[in-house]
Structure 1
């Protein structure tokens, strides 16, 4: 019984707790970034400087909504917010939206709400890693070298990859600009995103508990499965940690921006 409880806690922390904590930190940091921009340059500045991230954010919702067979009602990947909500519609202040419905009787679609809600965190992270691989391969290699062995990171190999595969100045500049456009608009999960995720959380908890009971019964296979789960979870955490680091840098940059002249 004690071993099962330990296995369950490890699984829940690795697959739910750790990613959720990092997603929450990403949301807080990027809300501060948007607030810095709005206070200095007006409400539309978050759209102008975060347009790429906003579109990736909404596209991530859309892709996973389709994967989990949700019915798509309306989609808008990018829009300017309105200060006066004349219509009273929640979309007035939104920077984009994906409205979808699902069957309450479908376990698959209900679990999908959890992944659809947090999809932008992973969509934006994947986009950043893709840009790194394209414009600064050494940075991508350094991240993956650390992620391959989360309990025994290859620090020397990661540093070697980072310093020996340096791109040209224009590639680094382009990477910086695109990274800022993604970070500013992409990582901020809305209250609606969290609400949608909570709808699938209970079902996911039940599934993970049942799965842990099943593999805990088989003593010989349990350590192998746990190792695979923890490796995957901490790899994901390291990649999300990279996104968080980038987000903090962008937040600090926006805080140092000069105030708009009135």
Structure 2
């Protein structure tokens, strides 16, 4: 029982922030698309999907290749069918390979990281001063060694400052900022995970749990240092915050359009 509980805690430490962020992104996405559809119509999904869906599906495809899966079919963008599917990646793998089984988790959540990577790269090109501010915040927070209320407050305050920096007067005077904002909205509108993504990721999560359980049984988990887990979670959170911020911004904008329509 102690081994089981310890393994559950370690699994949450490794994947908890990813799962929480995925849930938040899903909530923001569903309400944002609903607001856009009620204010602009179904064409809103096509407008955002033209950029967001290919980023989503390419993220799956790249992760699948990295984990040795074979891609059997891929569709980067299409008109939503009866199930609302606008793109897909079908892949196969060797079920006897632990590496490829674990890969299912990362393939499932790949759109989150693919979308974040695209937005950060776009930030670097279009609003470099804000990008530098983001990197400085990330580097400062990664040196945190203890998680307590004051630390959490400081981290939240730093990312609140990032939001203010994104929407600074200087950026509003920069025409490239509007390109960045539009593309980021398109990506964040389709960054969340579908039910198929969640199903695939859960298979990989099960494999991760049993790997950690085996490590605990043989006493090898002691090599996973608590300090490293703290730094890992802070670094992961730093990147996930970017996705959550723009998903929240997309939701606010969609709500604004819906209010105007009403």
- 1:150-199 Cα shifts (integer Å, max 9, x gaps): 4366878x9699599x55511212211111121122x1211100001111
Contact 1:141 / 1:162 at 8 angstroms: preserved in 2?
Answer: no
Residue 100 of structure 1: SS of its match in structure 2?
A: strand
The match for 2:21 is: 22
The match for 1:170 is: 175
Residue 94 of structure 2: SS of its match in structure 1?
A: coil
Contact 1:11 / 1:230 at 8 angstroms: preserved in 2?
Answer: no
The match for 1:249 is: 249
- Provide the aligned C-alpha RMSD in A: 3.2
CA distance in 2, matches of 1:11, 1:145: 29
The match for 1:33 is: 32
Distance change (3 Å), C-alpha of 1:32 and 1:162: closer
Q: How far did residue 82 of structure 1 move? A: 3.1
> Within 5 Å, which residues of 2 pair with 1:1-262?
11-83=10-82, 93-148=84-139, 149-150=141-142, 151=144, 162=165, 166=170, 169-185=174-190, 187-211=191-215, 213-216=219-222, 225-258=225-258
5+ residue gaps, structure 2, are 145-150
Q: How far did residue 131 of structure 1 move? A: 1.1
5+ residue gaps, structure 1, are 84-89
Residue 257 of structure 1: SS of its match in structure 2?
A: helix
CA distance in 2, matches of 1:7, 1:136: 44
Distance change (3 Å), C-alpha of 1:260 and 1:159: closer
- 1:87-143 Cα shifts (integer Å, max 9, x gaps): xxx6xx311111112222221211111111110011101111111111112222222
CA distance in 1, matches of 2:131, 2:12: 26
Name the count of aligned residue pairs: 245
TM-score, normalised via structure 1 length = 0.80
TM-score, normalised via structure 2 length = 0.80
The match for 1:86 is: none
Question: Which is further off, 142-151 or 106-115?
Answer: 142-151
Residue 73 of structure 2: SS of its match in structure 1?
A: strand
CA distance in 2, matches of 1:71, 1:201: 20
Q: How far did residue 5 of structure 1 move? A: 8.7
Contact 2:35 / 2:258 at 8 angstroms: preserved in 1?
Answer: no
